[in-house]
Structure 1
Amino acid sequence: MTQITLNIPDNELSFFMQLIEKFNYETVINEFSITEEMKNLLDERRSTSKVDDFLPWNEAKKQLRFKSGE
């Protein structure tokens, strides 16, 4: 299966939806929820974090290490 993500301007959405109704498609809604405990933990981390501790994404992704599928 191939998955495609498109960014459709709001003023073109109606046209696009009419177009894809002619094809087989699946709508995916990305919803998630967090518990109160998770929210509190995130709030605590946010309140104690320092801007000096942050890394730009291009540097952080260089530090990622992936395990082999063994």
Structure 2
Amino acid sequence: MTKVTLNIPDNELGFFMKLIEKFNYETVENEFLISDEMKSILDERRVSSKKEDFVSWEEAKKKIRLKS
């Protein structure tokens, strides 16, 4: 069996779903668990964050260095 992963823009999802209704497909959702401690940390960060400290995703990607 071959599996294909597609990234579909939200505004095109309805069209795509109608297109593939005739095919046998399986919807897969990424599922992950997060502890109450992690939720608390994220909530605290949301409350204490400042808009001027944010960087765009494009800028952040440039700063990421992968370790080999």
Bin for the TM-score computed over the shorter chain = 0.5 to 0.7
Task: Give the alignment's TM-score, normalised by structure 2.
Answer: 0.68
Task: Return 5+ residue gaps in structure 1 as ranges.
Answer: none
Q: CA RMSD in A?
A: 2.5
Q: State the partner residue of 1:44.
A: 44
Higher RCO (Cα < 8 Å, 6 or more apart):
1
Aligned residues between the structures: 64
Instruction: Quote the residue 1:3 is aligned against.
Output: 4
Q: Deviations over 1:2-54 (max 9, x none)?
A: 63315363366355132x22xxx554222223111111000001111111111
Counting aligned pairs with the same residue, the percent is: 44
Higher-Rg structure is 1
Residue segments in structure 2 that go unaligned for 5+ positions in a row: none
Note closer, same or farther for the CA distance 1:13–1:46 as it changes in structure 2 (3 Å cut).
same
Runs of 4+, deviation exceeding 6 Å: none
TM-score if structure 1 supplies the norm length?
Answer: 0.66
State the alpha-carbon separation in 2 of the partners of residues 9 and 62 from structure 1: 29
Structure 1 9/26 Cα, relative in aligned 2: closer, same or farther at 3 Å?
closer
* Alignment of structure 1 residues 1-70 onto 2, 5 Å: 3-5=4-6, 7=8, 9-10=13-14, 13-18=17-22, 20-21=23-24, 26-68=26-68
